C-alpha cells in the first residue's frame, strides 16, 4: 500500500504509518465498536446543581422502566465501600454522590439496561431532591471569609485550601527585586479549557463470575497504573484484572484519570454477572472529565539597566475543582510549573502556588500540558514580551540577550532543573529568517501608519518532558520508568510490546523504527502492540510527552541487548571472536573479510536452532528504563496578526514554528504532532473556554459553546527545525507531542498584544474573542 514499503525505516526516515490500514477502512477498534455477548448499557445521572445536599433519591419509577436491569446509587456503592475512590493526587473523589453534590455534572446514579436508549429513558425517570448550597466558582470565592466548605467529607479539612507549594529561593529573589532597575508585572488568567478528544471516554467492564477475572476495556492512556489502582480500590486481586485499552480516538491527557463511570460499570458487572458498557456523550465529557489549566498567575520580572533579567517571582492560585485529582507526579502539587524561568538565564527565582477546591469538575493537568508547563510557558513568554514592550526593546532581541547560551548546557535553573541541551539563539534565528523579520517589521510600521491594527508575537519556549527518573517522579508511588519487550522470532520478524499507549501519535510506526535502527530488522517486520495489561510489560503510559524519552529509550536499550546476544550468535555461526565482528545495521561481518557475514535474521534463526553451548535459547528481552534526567525540547514560534478595528476579530496572517526535539525518529509524524498542537494552541488562544456563571452552571459543556477550530479558521503553519540531540537519551531524542500547545498560545496572544500596544493595551486574557479585543480598542478610543 505505502510508497515507503521499500525503505528500511530506520531513524530519520518518514515512512508512512503502519497503523493506517485499519483506520482508512473504518476498521479501527475503538471502545464503542466492541460488542460483547450479553452486554448491557449504562447511563449516568448527573447533578444539575453545582453545590447541593442530596435529600433523597427515588429510583422506583426508573427501575420499572422497560429493559432496566438495575439502578445504582451512591448508597449501594457505599455498601461495597466503593462510593469514594482515591485520586491520582492522593485525594479522594466521589464515585456516586452520597451526601452532597459538589459540581454541576457530578455523578449521582446509574441505570443499567438492555439498550442504551432504554438506559437513557430510565435515567430521566430517576427523581432526586436537592437542597441547593452556595456555589464557589473561583479561588477568590474559595478563600473568601465565610465561604462554604466544599469538602466537608474530609476529616480535618477546615477550608477550601488544598495545598501550598514553593520552589526556588525566596531570600535571594527578594534581594534581587529590592535593587532591580525595573520590575515588570503581569497578572494573567489561563482559563479552563478541555482536551476534548474527538472520541469520548468509556469502558466495557466484564467481570466473569466463574473465573473471577475482570476484563475491562477502557479508554486509558495508562492501563497498567489504572489496573493497580483498580486492584487497590476494588479489592479484586491484581492478576485477575485485565485492562485492555484499544484504539483511542485522541487522548491529550483526557484519558489518564480513573473516572467514576469505570468504577460503577465494573461494580455493576460484578453484581449483575454480565458485561456493562458505558460510553459518555460529549456533554458529559466536557462537564465532568479532566479539564485543563484554570491558573490565576502573577509574574514579576526584574531587569537591570542593561536589559538583563535578574530575578523572577511568580505566584499562582490553582482552581482544582471539587476533588484534587490532577494526574501528576506525586512530589509536585503544581506539576512542573517551576520550569517557569523558561529559556532565560535568570539567576534567582521564587515560585509559590496555592491550590483551591471549587464547585467545578475536578482536574487541571491535561490537554497536552506536560504537567503544567503550558501554564508556566504562557506566563513567562507573555511577561517577557510585555517587558520588552515596556522597556522599548525588540521582542526578539530582548530574548536573545537573555537566552541561556549554548555553552552553558547542561544548565541548572534557579528552580533546580538541569536542562540537558539547547541552542535557543539558533532556533530563534531560523524563525526570524523564515519570517523575514526585518522586512516584516517595516511592513508593520507602514500598515500602522495607514491606520491598520497589526502586530508580531514571539514565544521562545523551553519545556521539560520525559518523566522521569524514579527517585523524583512517581504517580501514587509508582515510579515513572517505562518498558519495552522485544521478541525476535526464528524467521527474523519481531514483536515489540511497550508500557505506553498511543492515542494517534503513531507508536506502531515510530517505535518499530527504533528497532529497525538498532537491530537492523526492517520496520515493516516489527509489529508493535500496546494497551493490554495481560501482555504488555508494566509501564506508566503515554502523556506529558514521555513515550519517546522513556519507552523509546527502553526500546533502544532492549534492541541493543538483543544485538549483543546476536553478536554472540554471529560469532558462533562465523566461528570468529566477538571482538572481531563489525556491526553494520542488519548484519555482523568479520573485520577485514566483509563477505563473511551473518544477517540479524540468520542470527535470530540460530537463536532457536544452533546455539553455542550454555546459551539460553531465544532472542527475546525486556528493558525497564529509568531515565537519568528529563529532556528539554524547545523552539521559537512567531505569529503575525491583523485585527479588524470594527469588529475586534483577529486574523492570523502567518504562523512560523521552529521546533527542536533532538533527533527526529519519523519527521513526518513529528510534524503532524506539531501541526495538531499549533491548532489546539490556536483554539485555546482564540476560542476555547469553559466558564461558569454565578450559580455554578457550566458554560462550555457542548460543542456549540466549547468551540474547536475547523479547517476554515485554522491558520496555515510554516514549520522549521533545528536539531540539538539530548546527550543522555540513547538515540538523542526528546519528547515533542506537547511542544506546540506549550509554546503557541503565548505567540498568538503576544501578536495581538503587540498589535494593540500602540494604544496602550498590555493584556487581554484568553480566549481573545472579538468582543474582548473590541472592548480594549474602544477603551483606547479606537473605532470604525
Partner 1 sequence: MKVAMRVNGAERGGDVEPRVLLVDFLRSNLLLTGTHIGCDTTSCGACTVLLDGEPVKSCTLLAVQVDGREVKTVEGLANGATLAPIQVGFHEEHGLQCGFCTPGMMLVASALLERNPNPTDDEIRWAISGNICRCTGYMNIVKAVKYAANMESAPKQAAVAGGGE
Partner 2 sequence: MFPAAFDYRAPATLNDALGLLAERGDDAKVMAGGQSLIPLLKLRFAQPQLIVDIGRIPGLADVKRDDGHVRIGALVRHVDVERSKDLAKLVPLMVEAVHWIADPLVRNRGTVVGSVCHADPSGDWGSIMLALNAELVAQSTKGERVIPIDGFFEGPFTTTLRSDEIATAIRIPLPSGSAGGSYHKLERKVGDFATVAVSVQVELDGHKVKKAGIGMTSVGATNLKAKQAEKALIGHELKDDVIAEAAKLAAAESEPKDDIRGTAAYKKDMVRVFVQRGLKAALARAQEVRA
Active site residue 603: no
Is 22 annotated in the active site? no
Binding partner of residue 503 among partner 1, partner 2, none, CB cut-off 5 to 8 Å per kind: partner 1
Half-sphere exposure of 378 (CA within 13 A, CB side): 31
Catalytic residue of the set 201, 369, 603, 661:
369
Question: Of partner 2, partner 1, none, which one sits near residue 504, judging by CB under 5 to 8 A according to partner kind?
Answer: partner 1
Distance CA(540)–CA(171), nearest Å, equals 37
Residues 664-693 that bind partner 1 (CB under 8 A): 668-669, 671-673, 675-680
Write out the residues near partner 2 by the rule CB under 8 A. 116-117, 120-121, 124, 281-283, 646-649, 687, 691, 699, 704-705, 707-710, 712-713, 769-771, 774-775, 778, 784
CB of 782 to partner 2, least distance (A): 12
Q: Name the nearest CA neighbour of 585 among 186, 9, 25.
A: 9
Would you say the C-alpha torsion 767, 770, 772, 777 has a positive or negative sign? positive
Site string for partner 1, 364-403 (x = CB under 8 A): ----------------------------------------
Q: Which does 770 bind (CB under 5 to 8 A by kind): partner 1, partner 2, none?
A: partner 2
Residue 661 annotated among the catalytic residues of the structure: no
Q: DSSP state, 319?
A: E
Residues 49/696, Cβ–Cβ less than 8 Å:
yes
**Based on C-alpha coordinates, what's the Rg of the chain?**
27
Read off the C-alpha cell for 111: 441505570
CA nearest neighbour of 263 among 92, 481, 148: 92
Catalytic residue among 107, 620, 680, 738: 738
Among 6, 12, 24, 534, binds partner 1 (CB under 8 A): 24
Query: Looking at beta carbons only, is 599 or 769 nearer to partner 1?
Result: 769
Distance CA(72)–CA(725), nearest Å, equals 54
Among residues 17, 274, 368, 399, the one annotated as catalytic is 368
User: Going by C-beta distance under 8 Å and a sequence separation of 6 or more, which residues neighbour residue 565?
Assistant: 607, 615, 619, 621
SS (H, E, C) 489-558: CCCCCEEEEECCCCCCCCHHHHHHHHHHHHHCCCHHHEEEEECECCCCCCCCCCCCCCHHHHHHHHHHHH
Q: Which of 261, 213, 211, 243 is nearest to 108 (CA)?
A: 261
Distance (Å, whole) CA 550 – CA 396: 33
Binding partner of residue 775 among partner 2, partner 1, none, CB cut-off 5 to 8 Å per kind:
partner 2
Of 281-289, 385-393, 491-499, 512-520, the segment contacting partner 1 by CB under 8 A is: 281-289
Could you tell which of partner 1, partner 2, none binds residue 124, using a CB distance below 5 to 8 A set by kind?
partner 2
654 binds partner 1 (CB under 8 A): no
DSSP label at 19?
A: T
Q: Which region among 229-237, 601-609, 663-671, 773-781 touches partner 1 (by CB under 8 A)?
A: 663-671
Catalytic residue among 93, 106, 221, 524: 221
Q: Are 335 and 373 in contact (CB under 8 A)?
A: yes
Which one of partner 1, partner 2, none is in contact with 298 (Cβ closer than 5 to 8 A by kind)?
none
Q: Is 718 a catalytic residue?
A: no
- Cis-peptide into 410, omega within 30 deg: yes
Binding at 613: pick from partner 1, partner 2, none (beta carbon under 5-8 Å per type): none
763 binds partner 1 (CB under 8 A): no
CB closer to partner 1 out of 671 and 754: 671
Q: Does 699 bind partner 1 (CB under 8 A)?
A: no
Work out what residue 455 binds among partner 2, partner 1, none; the CB cut-off runs from 5 to 8 Å by kind.
none
Query: Can residue 505 be called a binding residue for partner 1 (CB under 8 A)?
Result: yes
Q: Which three cell numbers stand for residue 252?
A: 491529550
**What are the start-end ranges of the E strands in 59-132?**
68-73, 84-86, 92-94, 100-101, 107-113, 127-132
The number of residues in the chain equals 784
Asked if 253 is part of the footprint of partner 1 (rule: CB under 8 A), the reply reads no
The residues of the shown chain that bind partner 1, judged by CB under 8 A, are 1-3, 16-17, 19-20, 22-28, 30, 32-33, 35, 117, 196-200, 247-250, 252, 281-283, 503-506, 668-669, 671-673, 675-680, 702-704, 708, 710-712, 714, 716-717
Enumerate the active-site residues: 221, 368-369, 738
Amino acid at each position: 500500500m505505502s510508497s515507503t514499503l521499500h525503505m528500511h525505516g530506520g531513524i530519520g526516515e518518514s515512512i508512512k504509518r503502519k497503523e493506517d490500514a485499519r483506520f482508512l477502512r473504518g476498521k479501527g477498534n475503538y471502545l464503542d465498536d466492541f460488542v460483547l455477548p450479553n452486554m448491557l448499557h449504562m447511563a449516568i445521572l448527573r447533578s444539575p446543581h453545582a453545590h447541593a445536599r442530596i435529600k433523597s433519591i427515588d429510583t422506583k419509577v426508573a427501575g420499572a422502566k422497560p429493559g432496566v436491569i438495575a439502578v445504582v446509587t451512591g448508597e449501594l456503592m457505599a455498601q461495597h465501600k466503593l462510593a469514594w475512590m482515591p485520586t491520582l493526587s492522593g485525594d479522594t473523589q466521589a464515585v456516586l454522590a452520597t451526601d452532597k453534590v459538589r459540581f454541576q455534572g457530578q455523578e449521582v446514579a446509574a441505570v443499567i439496561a438492555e439498550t442504551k436508549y432504554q438506559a437513557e429513558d430510565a435515567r430521566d425517570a430517576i427523581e432526586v431532591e436537592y437542597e441547593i448550597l452556595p456555589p464557589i466558582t473561583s479561588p477568590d470565592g474559595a478563600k473568601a471569609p465565610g465561604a462554604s466548605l466544599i469538602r466537608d467529607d474530609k476529616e480535618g479539612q477546615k477550608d477550601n485550601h488544598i495545598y501550598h507549594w514553593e520552589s526556588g529561593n525566596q531570600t535571594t529573589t527578594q534581594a534581587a527585586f529590592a535593587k532591580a532597575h525595573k520590575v515588570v508585572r503581569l497578572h494573567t488568567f489561563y482559563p479552563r479549557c478541555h482536551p476534548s478528544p474527538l472520541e469520548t471516554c468509556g469502558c466495557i467492564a466484564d467481570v466473569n463470575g466463574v473465573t473471577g477475572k475482570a476484563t475491562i476495556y477502557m479508554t486509558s492512556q495508562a492501563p497498567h497504573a489504572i489496573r493497580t489502582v483498580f486492584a487497590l480500590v476494588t479489592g479484586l486481586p491484581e492478576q485477575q484484572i485485565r485492562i485492555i485499552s484499544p484504539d483511542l480516538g485522541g487522548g491529550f491527557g483526557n484519558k489518564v484519570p480513573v473516572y467514576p463511570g469505570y468504577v460503577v460499570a465494573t461494580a455493576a458487572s460484578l453484581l449483575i454477572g454480565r458485561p456493562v458498557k458505558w460510553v459518555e456523550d460529549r456533554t458529559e465529557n466536557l462537564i465532568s472529565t479532566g479539564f485543563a489549566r484554570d491558573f490565576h498567575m502573577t509574574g514579576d520580572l526584574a531587569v537591570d539597566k542593561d536589559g538583563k533579567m535578574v530575578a523572577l517571582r511568580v505566584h499562582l492560585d490553582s482552581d482544582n475543582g471539587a476533588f484534587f485529582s490532577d494526574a501528576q507526579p506525586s512530589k509536585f502539587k503544581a506539576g512542573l510549573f517551576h520550569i517557569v524561568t523558561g529559556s532565560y538565564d535568570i539567576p534567582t527565582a521564587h515560585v509559590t502556588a496555592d491550590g483551591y477546591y471549587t464547585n467545578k469538575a475536578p482536574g487541571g493537568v491535561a490537554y497536552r500540558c506536560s504537567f503544567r508547563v503550558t501554564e508556566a510557558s504562557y506566563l513567562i513568554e507573555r511577561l517577557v514580551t510585555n517587558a520588552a514592550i515596556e522597556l522599548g526593546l525588540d521582542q526578539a532581541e530582548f530574548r536573545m540577550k537573555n537566552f541561556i547560551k549554548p555553552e552553558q548546557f547542561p544548565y541548572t535553573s534557579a528552580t533546580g532543573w538541569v536542562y540537558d541541551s539547547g541552542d535557543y539563539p539558533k532556533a530563534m534565528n531560523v524563525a526570524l529568517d523564515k519570517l523575514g523579520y526585518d522586512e516584516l517589521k517595516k511592513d508593520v510600521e507602514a500598515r500602522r501608519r495607514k491606520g491598520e491594527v497589526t502586530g508580531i508575537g514571539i514565544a521562545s519556549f523551553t519545556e521539560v518532558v520525559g518523566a522521569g527518573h524514579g527517585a523524583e517522579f512517581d504517580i501514587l508511588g509508582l515510579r515513572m520508568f517505562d518498558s519495552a519487550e522485544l521478541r525476535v522470532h526464528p524467521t527474523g520478524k519481531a514483536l515489540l510490546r511497550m508500557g505506553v499507549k498511543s492515542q494517534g501519535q503513531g507508536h506502531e510506526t515510530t517505535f518499530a523504527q527504533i528497532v529497525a535502527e538498532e537491530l537492523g530488522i526492517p520496520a515493516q517486520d516489527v509489529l508493535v502492540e500496546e494497551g493490554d495489561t495481560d501482555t504488555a510489560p508494566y509501564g506508566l503510559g503515554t502523556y506529558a510527552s514521555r513515550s519517546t524519552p522513556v519507552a523509546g529509550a527502553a526500546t533502544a536499550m532492549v534492541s541493543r541487548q538483543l544485538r549483543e546476544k546476536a553478536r554472540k550468535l554471529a560469532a558462533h555461526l562465523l566461528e570468529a571472536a566477538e571482538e572481531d565482528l563489525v556491526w553494520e545495521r542488519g548484519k555482523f561481518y568479520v573485520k577485514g573479510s566483509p563477505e563473511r557475514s551473518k544477517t540479524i535474521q540468520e542470527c535470530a534463526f540460530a537463536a532457536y536452532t544452533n546455539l553455542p553451548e550454555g546459551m539460553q535459547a531465544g532472542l527475546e528481552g525486556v528493558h525497564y528504563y529509568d531515565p537519568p534526567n528529563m529532556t528539554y525540547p524547545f523552539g521559537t514560534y512567531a505569529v503575525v496578526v491583523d485585527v479588524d478595528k470594527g469588529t475586534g476579530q483577529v486574523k492570523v496572517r502567518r504562523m512560523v514554528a521552529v521546533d527542536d526535539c533532538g533527533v527526529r525518529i519519523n519527521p513526518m509524524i513529528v510534524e503532524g504532532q506539531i501541526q495538531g498542537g499549533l491548532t489546539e494552541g490556536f483554539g485555546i488562544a482564540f476560542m476555547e473556554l469553559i466558564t461558569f456563571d454565578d450559580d455554578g452552571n457550566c458554560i462550555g459543556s457542548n460543542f456549540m459553546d466549547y468551540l474547536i477550530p475547523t479547517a476554515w479558521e485554522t491558520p496555515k503553519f510554516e514549520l522549521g527545525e533545528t536539531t540539538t540531540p539530548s546527550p543522555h537519551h540513547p538515540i538523542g531524542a526528546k519528547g515533542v507531542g506537547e511542544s506546540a500547545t506549550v509554546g503557541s498560545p503565548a505567540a498568538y496572544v503576544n501578536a495581538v498584544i503587540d498589535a494593540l500596544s500602540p494604544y496602550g493595551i498590555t493584556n487581554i486574557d484568553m480566549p481573545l474573542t472579538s468582543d474582548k479585543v473590541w472592548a480594549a480598542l474602544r477603551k483606547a478610543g479606537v473605532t470604525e
